């Protein structure tokens, strides 16, 4: 039977099911710090996720450092769309320094050197990336199991699936780990898990959200496009979908400054050295 507000996580329960929009306002109003949100989310994941297995790649130490930086930026008066808000992303997305396998054991030791463009945009908006969520092998099933990370269970009923391929994403939202997620969809990979877990997702118009740098593992950070494949937001409210999509959408150009072009150059320099 479903619990009234979802799986319980002790001290983190107060913050677990607040919307991203609510958290943005709370952070800006100094009602809560980014570090408090991140620590609360980490505590909840460590308490509940052993049975759910949604957040299969964890980046907690860098997340804590990023949260401290966000709080320092807030203290200086900075104002960004999602400054200080923690979230996770689907395992397929390249995040520099983290593994990207798409559930395929042959890629289990490969780590991205460059953030996907959508991840860059989220970070530029102030998001704190806690880690990455589980998928089926090669994003190609209605459940979320692979030999690298195992099976993700539905937080409402651990005997059932959260769906796929964005199953870990939907499970993380339903469990109250994060207020926002980033999934992808060809034939239902955003929509089916959202339905299975009682959360929201949106399959955007083709080309609205750029796919640069999010190809299969070991593929260079170049534009990627399929006839039906799109990247899209996931959340626990329709309003939060719009909030995230505002950050993600736009032409897939190479961002300047500290963006993709700079990261590629830095990665090349590391290899040369």
- Retrieve residue 150's tokens: 């195992």
The Cα 251–Cα 234 span in angstroms is: 20
Q: Which is the catalytic residue, given 34, 40, 90, 184?
A: 90
| Whether residue 43 lies in the annotated active site | no
User: What are the tokens at 207?
Assistant: 């080309």
Residue from 34, 144, 165, 184 carrying the catalytic annotation: 165
Q: What is the C-alpha to C-alpha distance for residues 214 and 41, in angstroms, rounded to an integer?
A: 26
Establish whether 12 is a catalytic residue.
no
Helix, strand and coil content of the chain, in percent to the nearest 5, comes to: 40, 15, 50
CA distance 203 to 229: 9
Question: Per the residue annotation, which of 12, 40, 184, 189 is the catalytic one?
Answer: 189
Alpha carbon of 9 to those of 2, 47, 101: distances in Å?
Answer: 15, 7, 29
The residues, ordered by sequence, that sit 6+ positions from 60 with a Cβ below 8 Å of its Cβ are 42, 130, 131
Catalytic residue list contains 90: yes
Would you name the residues annotated as active-site residues?
90, 165, 189
């Amino acid at each position: 039977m479903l619990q009234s507000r979802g799986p319980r996580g002790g001290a983190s329960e107060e913050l677990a099911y607040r919307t991203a929009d609510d958290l943005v306002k709370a952070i800006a109003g100094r009602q809560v710090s980014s570090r408090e949100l991140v620590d609360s989310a980490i505590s909840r994941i460590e308490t509940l996720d052993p049975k759910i297995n949604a957040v299969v790649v964890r980046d907690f130490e860098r997340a804590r450092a990023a949260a401290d930086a966000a709080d320092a930026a807030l203290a200086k008066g900075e104002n960004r769309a999602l400054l200080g808000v923690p979230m996770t992303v689907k395992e397929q997305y390249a995040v520099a320094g983290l593994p990207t396998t798409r559930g395929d054991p042959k890629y289990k030791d490969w780590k991205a050197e460059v953030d996907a463009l959508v991840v860059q945009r989220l970070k530029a908006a102030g998001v704190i990336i806690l880690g990455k969520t589980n998928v089926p092998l090669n994003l190609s099933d209605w459940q979320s199991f692979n030999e690298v990370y195992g099976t993700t269970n539905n937080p409402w009923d651990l005997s059932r699936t959260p769906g796929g391929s964005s199953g870990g994403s939907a499970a993380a939202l339903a469990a109250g780990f994060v207020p926002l997620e980033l999934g992808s969809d060809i034939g239902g990979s955003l929509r089916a898990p959202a339905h299975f877990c009682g959360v929201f997702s949106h399959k955007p118009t083709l080309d609205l959200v750029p796919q640069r740098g999010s190809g299969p593992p070991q593929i260079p950070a170049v534009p990627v496009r399929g006839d039906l494949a799109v990247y899209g937001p996931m959340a626990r409210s329709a309003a939060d979908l719009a909030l995230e999509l505002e950050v993600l959408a736009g032409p897939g150009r190479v961002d300047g400054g500290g963006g993709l072009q700079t990261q590629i150059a830095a990665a090349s320099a590391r290899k040369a050295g």
